[in-house]
Amino acid sequence: MFRAQAMRGLATRWGFQYIGPSFSGWRTSSSRKLTLPLSFPHRPVQGRPIRQVWNVIEGQQGGVSVLIFDSIIGEGRGMYCTFFACQTELNPFGIDIAPDRVIQSHGWTALYRDRFLQIPWTIGVHRLDGHLNKLRLGSVWEPSC
């Protein structure tokens, strides 16, 4: 509930749309499951499928489509994973992103962090806000080397 409220606030601050829903545990009814854009890779991390998504935020920043969401990836119990994705083949996140990782697939570049057996999100709202601010300023589009 607190994460959903914080994610709604993030969406509002940046003029994005909070699609939801809030996290409702490991088991959700099929009516509460959301789908991601068809162009977003559905097996983005080492071939593990995205099994469940929540706290989905969509918007535009600096002319780029942005998609932020919490998820469970993988089979069985799976792993929590938060994604911050931009619909671009260029890496807008720069090279100093530790402890996060970057993947690029199907025209998307996504920053993500996964965890095993932890809280149901892995990138805090403050850090997401910082990444959005970098996109707004355009500083991440400049060469990092």
Q: Is the pLDDT of residue 67 over 90?
A: yes
Domain boundaries, the chain: 2-141
Task: Identify the band that residue 140 occupies on the pLDDT scale cut at 50, 70 and 90.
Answer: very low
Q: Write down the pTM of the prediction.
A: 0.81
Structure tokens at 128: 């997401």
Residue 128: Cβ within 10 Å count: 20
Could you read off the pLDDT of 19-49 as tens digits, one per residue? 887 665 544 443 345 567 778 888 888 888 9
Query: Hey, which bits of 21-92 come out as E strands?
Result: 50-61, 64-73, 79-86
pLDDT band at 8 (very low <50, low <70, confident <90, very high): very high
Residue ranges with strand state E in the chain: 17-20, 50-61, 64-73, 79-86, 101-105, 108-115
CB count, 10 Å around CB of 66? 21
